[in-house]
Structure 1
């Protein structure tokens, strides 16, 4: 843990509308996959701390669900209300924030996120993501000028989180906004979440990636067992025995997740296991089950028992 003179460390909220690449940016800065990703909006459901350590500082990146406009209790599910609280709660006690937007696009969701940041009174750095997708680079400058008009940013950085382009200047800017203090976590720590939590998220990532448009939002994952055993004939090696329950809301959804002859569930488990072994550095034996719990996503008590709590 670094204590060198001039070292800076602090918390940075990573904020934006759904599906602009916030989790991809956190993973790129941390240098490891600590937050799950998919092409679907609202893949991230929990606040998650990604720890990015550098020679001269440490950024504690608070990855959040995308901020979306409240629909009112009559129409918004308990899950959506919880995600909005998690996203807005991430602004409490941070030293700065990164507003992530998509290059070439600014819409009402971006305005909502910007207004939330200005209300919080923290320095805001704009990260214009996915610039690699802009074929006509000459169109980028007018877009940046348009976005800056009438808004206050401490800095603006065009980046590609996926291709890890433009990240060094962004890191330099963020570190300058952090207080001078020793590192808050050890250099080899990458997140504040447990392996048990990350295992559940990696299973849920495969649900987001492999299922139809609406079904992933009716699913969640609970890790029922997580046991570490020494591997025979492998000094220092371990086997993680993990049991994961995939919760759905209806019997018809259960059949879809399992797939014909169990093929889809096996594929979900196989892909998730591969990701776990890569992240944890251990062999993994993963068992998965699908169970029905009607209306779990709109039941505050059920959400708490399934790990959704402030």
Structure 2
């Protein structure tokens, strides 16, 4: 499994770890985090091309500059994933924690602080990768021709930095990523109906090409502010919850990062929210089918028995 690293000294140049930590020991974690958090933003073809060129020493100067940023992101995210198992060994007698008279395992709070540091740095540099690509997109046609680029430009707020200028989120890509589905729904249910499809698409296209008219630039500023604030307002309740195979969990922030099952009131609120969103999409399906069939009345759809109405944001 190839990653953005060939040798151990490349790793220790970009992340604060002991020089005795070999890149081979981290390789699985580096590969996993690159696949999950870097490759989707580059596109599969562009990512694979960069990896191949780097290992073949055929990357251009612009590509090498991009790879250097990706290395910092990959290394920090890889160490973040690795660190939980770094103090434990697995063998025939089970999992053991290494403690000696001279060295002892870190306290839980130290462990958590260290992990958070690697995590935050890693995601910060994911944003730097995206910023470098956007600033130098004329040099990366393989990226601009990809579905990843189209997705990057399919929203009025495309990056953590843009969001942070309106609502302070400490440039947290993890937080931005968690709120992105809500942001997409705000755009779809609130902004698009107000603008109409033509103007909605026109502003997005002009934003992507950096050709905004004065009027659309003024509109975009207001749209971004509306979207950012409504996104936060509709995310507040959900951010402390995690949907998992064990059920809906309430996240805790102590040194042990505990999670407990959500109480009934939270579950009912969450269930109602998702049900209403589903109803909103039902409304859009009905309206679109009516349009296809040439019908002009697009009144609110209701289930026969439920009386549910279109979702409001």
Q: Same fold (TM over 0.5)?
A: no
Scaled by the length of structure 1, what TM-score is found? Answer: 0.25
Scaled by the length of structure 2, what TM-score is found? Answer: 0.25
Larger radius of gyration: 2
**Relative contact order: is structure 1 or structure 2 higher (C-alpha 8 Å, sep ≥ 6)?**
1
* Greater per-residue helix proportion: 2
